Amino acid sequence: MDKIIIKTPEQIEGIRKSSKLAGQTLEYIADFVKEGVSTEYLDQKIEAFIRENGAIPATLGYGGYPKSSCISLNEVVCHGIPSDNTILKNGDILNIDVTTILNGYYGDTSKMFTIGEVSTVALDLIAATKHSLNLGIQQVRPGNQFGNIGFAISKFIKMKGYSVVYEFCGHGVGVEFHEEPQIDHTSRRNTGPIMKPGMTFTIEPMINQGRPGTIVDKHDKWTARTVDKKLSAQFEHTILVTETGYEVLTDVTGEY
Protein backbone atom coordinates (compact mmCIF):
# COMPACT_ATOMS: atom_id res chain seq x y z
CA MET A 1 0.00 0.00 0.00
CA ASP A 2 1.34 3.35 -1.07
CA LYS A 3 0.75 5.95 1.61
CA ILE A 4 2.76 8.67 -0.07
CA ILE A 5 0.36 11.48 -0.93
CA ILE A 6 0.34 12.76 -4.50
CA LYS A 7 -0.67 16.39 -4.11
CA THR A 8 -3.30 18.03 -6.32
CA PRO A 9 -2.39 21.20 -8.26
CA GLU A 10 -4.33 23.21 -5.67
CA GLN A 11 -2.43 21.62 -2.78
CA ILE A 12 0.88 22.17 -4.59
CA GLU A 13 0.09 25.87 -4.96
CA GLY A 14 -0.66 26.07 -1.23
CA ILE A 15 2.54 24.22 -0.30
CA ARG A 16 4.52 26.42 -2.70
CA LYS A 17 3.25 29.59 -0.95
CA SER A 18 3.91 28.25 2.54
CA SER A 19 7.38 27.02 1.55
CA LYS A 20 8.20 30.41 0.07
CA LEU A 21 7.25 32.07 3.34
CA ALA A 22 9.43 29.61 5.29
CA GLY A 23 12.36 30.46 2.99
CA GLN A 24 11.67 34.19 3.37
CA THR A 25 11.66 33.77 7.15
CA LEU A 26 15.26 32.50 7.03
CA GLU A 27 16.22 35.47 4.82
CA TYR A 28 14.48 37.86 7.21
CA ILE A 29 16.16 36.51 10.35
CA ALA A 30 19.68 36.72 8.87
CA ASP A 31 20.05 40.41 9.83
CA PHE A 32 19.38 39.62 13.49
CA VAL A 33 21.79 36.69 13.82
CA LYS A 34 24.70 38.40 15.62
CA GLU A 35 27.08 37.97 18.51
CA GLY A 36 25.38 38.80 21.83
CA VAL A 37 21.77 38.04 20.90
CA SER A 38 19.84 35.18 22.51
CA THR A 39 18.21 32.40 20.54
CA GLU A 40 14.96 33.30 22.35
CA TYR A 41 15.12 36.77 20.76
CA LEU A 42 15.56 35.19 17.31
CA ASP A 43 12.64 32.85 17.97
CA GLN A 44 10.40 35.80 18.87
CA LYS A 45 11.35 37.65 15.68
CA ILE A 46 10.66 34.49 13.67
CA GLU A 47 7.25 33.98 15.28
CA ALA A 48 6.24 37.62 14.69
CA PHE A 49 7.34 37.50 11.02
CA ILE A 50 5.45 34.27 10.36
CA ARG A 51 2.27 35.61 12.00
CA GLU A 52 2.51 38.99 10.22
CA ASN A 53 2.45 37.01 6.99
CA GLY A 54 -0.77 35.24 7.91
CA ALA A 55 0.79 31.91 8.90
CA ILE A 56 1.54 30.01 12.10
CA PRO A 57 4.76 28.31 13.22
CA ALA A 58 4.24 24.54 12.93
CA THR A 59 6.63 23.59 15.72
CA LEU A 60 4.80 25.57 18.42
CA GLY A 61 3.00 22.95 20.50
CA TYR A 62 3.96 20.13 18.12
CA GLY A 63 4.38 17.05 20.32
CA GLY A 64 4.79 19.49 23.21
CA TYR A 65 7.64 21.42 21.54
CA PRO A 66 7.56 24.90 23.13
CA LYS A 67 8.94 27.29 20.48
CA SER A 68 8.40 28.65 16.95
CA SER A 69 11.74 27.47 15.55
CA CYS A 70 14.57 25.07 16.29
CA ILE A 71 17.97 26.74 16.79
CA SER A 72 20.83 24.27 17.05
CA LEU A 73 24.33 25.51 17.97
CA ASN A 74 27.69 23.81 17.40
CA GLU A 75 27.42 20.23 18.77
CA VAL A 76 23.61 20.36 18.70
CA VAL A 77 22.44 18.19 15.79
CA CYS A 78 18.79 19.31 15.74
CA HIS A 79 15.79 20.40 17.85
CA GLY A 80 17.74 22.99 19.86
CA ILE A 81 15.16 24.91 21.92
CA PRO A 82 15.51 28.70 21.75
CA SER A 83 16.34 30.13 25.17
CA ASP A 84 17.21 33.40 26.93
CA ASN A 85 20.26 31.59 28.28
CA THR A 86 21.70 30.73 24.87
CA ILE A 87 23.65 33.79 23.71
CA LEU A 88 25.43 33.73 20.34
CA LYS A 89 29.19 34.17 20.61
CA ASN A 90 32.11 34.63 18.24
CA GLY A 91 32.96 31.40 16.43
CA ASP A 92 29.54 29.75 16.85
CA ILE A 93 27.83 27.93 14.00
CA LEU A 94 24.07 27.45 14.15
CA ASN A 95 21.18 25.97 12.24
CA ILE A 96 17.83 27.74 12.21
CA ASP A 97 14.89 25.52 11.19
CA VAL A 98 11.46 26.98 10.48
CA THR A 99 8.22 25.31 9.44
CA THR A 100 5.22 27.42 8.45
CA ILE A 101 1.54 26.56 8.20
CA LEU A 102 -0.11 28.88 5.68
CA ASN A 103 -3.78 28.22 4.82
CA GLY A 104 -3.28 24.70 6.20
CA TYR A 105 -0.19 23.93 4.08
CA TYR A 106 3.31 23.24 5.41
CA GLY A 107 6.75 24.44 4.29
CA ASP A 108 9.91 23.31 6.10
CA THR A 109 13.45 24.62 5.65
CA SER A 110 16.67 25.24 7.56
CA LYS A 111 20.13 26.65 6.97
CA MET A 112 23.39 27.40 8.74
CA PHE A 113 24.58 30.76 10.05
CA THR A 114 28.01 31.70 11.43
CA ILE A 115 29.03 34.23 14.09
CA GLY A 116 32.19 36.29 13.56
CA GLU A 117 35.38 34.36 12.92
CA VAL A 118 34.61 30.67 12.52
CA SER A 119 37.20 27.88 12.32
CA THR A 120 38.13 26.46 8.91
CA VAL A 121 37.03 23.06 10.17
CA ALA A 122 33.54 24.41 10.84
CA LEU A 123 33.35 26.23 7.49
CA ASP A 124 34.40 23.04 5.65
CA LEU A 125 31.76 21.02 7.48
CA ILE A 126 29.08 23.58 6.57
CA ALA A 127 30.14 23.65 2.90
CA ALA A 128 30.15 19.84 2.67
CA THR A 129 26.72 19.63 4.29
CA LYS A 130 25.27 22.14 1.86
CA HIS A 131 26.83 20.31 -1.08
CA SER A 132 25.42 16.99 0.17
CA LEU A 133 21.91 18.47 0.17
CA ASN A 134 22.47 19.61 -3.43
CA LEU A 135 23.59 16.10 -4.41
CA GLY A 136 20.45 14.68 -2.78
CA ILE A 137 18.22 17.18 -4.61
CA GLN A 138 19.84 16.19 -7.89
CA GLN A 139 18.44 12.69 -7.45
CA VAL A 140 14.84 13.96 -7.48
CA ARG A 141 12.95 13.03 -10.64
CA PRO A 142 9.98 10.81 -11.51
CA GLY A 143 10.91 7.13 -11.62
CA ASN A 144 13.96 7.38 -9.38
CA GLN A 145 13.94 5.60 -6.02
CA PHE A 146 14.04 7.52 -2.72
CA GLY A 147 17.03 5.51 -1.53
CA ASN A 148 19.22 7.16 -4.14
CA ILE A 149 18.91 10.48 -2.30
CA GLY A 150 20.58 9.17 0.86
CA PHE A 151 23.02 7.13 -1.20
CA ALA A 152 24.26 10.26 -3.00
CA ILE A 153 24.54 12.15 0.28
CA SER A 154 26.36 9.45 2.22
CA LYS A 155 28.75 8.55 -0.60
CA PHE A 156 30.00 12.15 -0.74
CA ILE A 157 30.08 12.64 3.03
CA LYS A 158 32.09 9.44 3.61
CA MET A 159 34.60 10.64 1.03
CA LYS A 160 34.95 13.91 2.98
CA GLY A 161 35.61 11.97 6.20
CA TYR A 162 32.49 13.19 8.02
CA SER A 163 29.52 11.12 9.15
CA VAL A 164 25.81 11.17 8.31
CA VAL A 165 23.30 11.20 11.17
CA TYR A 166 21.01 8.15 10.85
CA GLU A 167 18.71 8.79 13.82
CA PHE A 168 16.81 11.73 12.23
CA CYS A 169 15.35 11.76 8.71
CA GLY A 170 13.70 13.91 6.06
CA HIS A 171 10.01 13.35 5.51
CA GLY A 172 7.00 13.87 3.31
CA VAL A 173 5.54 17.31 4.07
CA GLY A 174 2.78 19.58 2.77
CA VAL A 175 -0.67 18.70 4.05
CA GLU A 176 0.83 17.45 7.33
CA PHE A 177 4.09 18.27 9.11
CA HIS A 178 5.51 14.75 8.89
CA GLU A 179 4.09 12.50 6.17
CA GLU A 180 5.31 9.32 4.49
CA PRO A 181 7.91 8.51 3.37
CA GLN A 182 10.87 8.90 5.71
CA ILE A 183 13.87 10.17 3.78
CA ASP A 184 16.84 8.36 5.24
CA HIS A 185 20.11 10.18 4.53
CA THR A 186 22.20 7.00 4.71
CA SER A 187 20.07 4.80 2.45
CA ARG A 188 21.36 2.32 -0.11
CA ARG A 189 21.39 2.65 -3.88
CA ASN A 190 18.20 1.59 -5.72
CA THR A 191 16.10 1.02 -2.60
CA GLY A 192 12.86 2.57 -1.39
CA PRO A 193 9.66 3.82 -3.04
CA ILE A 194 9.53 5.38 -6.51
CA MET A 195 9.27 9.17 -6.82
CA LYS A 196 6.20 10.45 -8.68
CA PRO A 197 5.13 13.92 -9.84
CA GLY A 198 3.17 15.70 -7.11
CA MET A 199 5.09 14.23 -4.18
CA THR A 200 6.48 16.83 -1.75
CA PHE A 201 9.07 16.06 0.90
CA THR A 202 12.11 17.39 2.70
CA ILE A 203 15.75 16.48 2.34
CA GLU A 204 17.60 17.60 5.48
CA PRO A 205 20.98 15.94 6.01
CA MET A 206 22.59 16.37 9.42
CA ILE A 207 26.34 15.87 9.04
CA ASN A 208 28.73 15.33 11.97
CA GLN A 209 32.40 16.23 12.14
CA GLY A 210 33.07 13.08 14.19
CA ARG A 211 30.89 10.11 15.12
CA PRO A 212 27.35 9.86 13.71
CA GLY A 213 25.58 9.07 17.00
CA THR A 214 23.34 11.51 18.85
CA ILE A 215 22.00 11.82 22.41
CA VAL A 216 18.74 13.58 23.28
CA ASP A 217 18.95 15.84 26.35
CA LYS A 218 17.62 14.05 29.44
CA HIS A 219 16.08 17.19 30.88
CA ASP A 220 14.41 18.99 27.98
CA LYS A 221 13.71 15.77 25.98
CA TRP A 222 14.38 17.56 22.64
CA THR A 223 17.92 18.86 22.17
CA ALA A 224 19.92 16.26 20.22
CA ARG A 225 23.71 16.53 20.57
CA THR A 226 26.58 14.63 18.99
CA VAL A 227 27.79 11.78 21.24
CA ASP A 228 31.38 13.06 20.99
CA LYS A 229 30.44 16.77 21.34
CA LYS A 230 32.04 17.55 17.98
CA LEU A 231 30.31 19.86 15.49
CA SER A 232 27.19 19.12 13.44
CA ALA A 233 25.67 21.00 10.49
CA GLN A 234 22.36 20.78 8.61
CA PHE A 235 20.55 22.26 5.61
CA GLU A 236 16.93 21.49 4.66
CA HIS A 237 14.67 22.20 1.71
CA THR A 238 11.10 21.22 0.80
CA ILE A 239 11.11 19.69 -2.69
CA LEU A 240 8.37 18.96 -5.24
CA VAL A 241 8.74 16.15 -7.78
CA THR A 242 7.76 17.70 -11.14
CA GLU A 243 7.08 15.95 -14.48
CA THR A 244 10.73 16.39 -15.45
CA GLY A 245 12.68 16.66 -12.19
CA TYR A 246 12.32 18.82 -9.12
CA GLU A 247 11.31 22.24 -7.83
CA VAL A 248 12.94 23.48 -4.61
CA LEU A 249 9.88 25.08 -3.03
CA THR A 250 11.72 26.70 -0.10
CA ASP A 251 14.44 28.27 -2.27
CA VAL A 252 13.92 32.04 -2.34
CA THR A 253 17.49 32.93 -3.29
CA GLY A 254 17.25 31.78 -6.92
CA GLU A 255 19.94 29.20 -6.29
CA TYR A 256 17.91 26.38 -7.86
Minimum distance, C-beta of residue 173 to ligand MF3, in the bound complex (Å):
8
Q: Which does 234 bind (CB under 5 to 8 A by kind): Co ion, ligand MF3, none?
A: none
Minimum distance, C-beta of residue 120 to Co ion, in the bound complex (Å):
27
- DSSP per residue, the chain: ---PPPPPHHHHHHHHHHHHHHHHHHHHHGGG--TT-BHHHHHHHHHHHHHHTT-EETTTTGGG--SSSEEEETTEEE-PPP-TT-B--TT-EEEEEEEEEETTEEEEEEEEEE-SS--HHHHHHHHHHHHHHHHHHTT-STT-BTHHHHHHHHHHHHHHT-EE--SS-EEE-SSSSSEEEEE-TTPPTT-SPBP-TT-EEEE--EEESS-S-EEE-TTTS--EEETT---EEE-BEEEEE-SSSEEETT--SS--
Minimum distance, C-beta of residue 143 to ligand MF3, in the bound complex (Å):
26
Minimum distance, C-beta of residue 140 to ligand MF3, in the bound complex (Å):
17
Q: Which does 63 bind (CB under 5 to 8 A by kind): ligand MF3, Co ion, none?
A: ligand MF3
d(CA 219, CA 221): 6
Task: Provide the mask over 173-212, with x wherever binding to Co ion is found by CB under 5 A and - wherever it is not.
Answer: -----------------------------x----------
Q: Which does 65 bind (CB under 5 to 8 A by kind): ligand MF3, Co ion, none?
A: ligand MF3
Distance from first CA to last CA of the chain, Å, rounded?
Answer: 33
Contacts of Co ion in 106-165 (CB under 5 A): 108, 110
Q: Does residue 43 belong to the site contacting Co ion (CB under 5 A)?
A: no
- The four Cα atoms 129, 130, 134, 140 give a dihedral, to 10 degrees, of 70
Q: Which residue lies nearer to ligand MF3 by CB, 76 or 119?
A: 76
Q: Which residue lies nearer to ligand MF3 by CB, 63 or 254?
A: 63
Q: Which residue lies nearer to ligand MF3 by CB, 99 or 139?
A: 99
Residues that bind ligand MF3 (CB under 6 A): 59, 62-63, 65, 70, 79, 97, 99, 108, 202, 204, 222, 236
Q: Which residue lies nearer to ligand MF3 by CB, 79 or 111?
A: 79
d(CA 145, CA 239): 15
Q: Which does 79 bind (CB under 5 to 8 A by kind): Co ion, ligand MF3, none?
A: ligand MF3
Contacts of Co ion in 234-253 (CB under 5 A): 236
Q: Which residue lies nearer to ligand MF3 by CB, 63 or 143?
A: 63
Look up residue 214 and give its amino acid.
T
Chain positions contacting Co ion, by CB under 5 A: 97, 108, 110, 202, 236
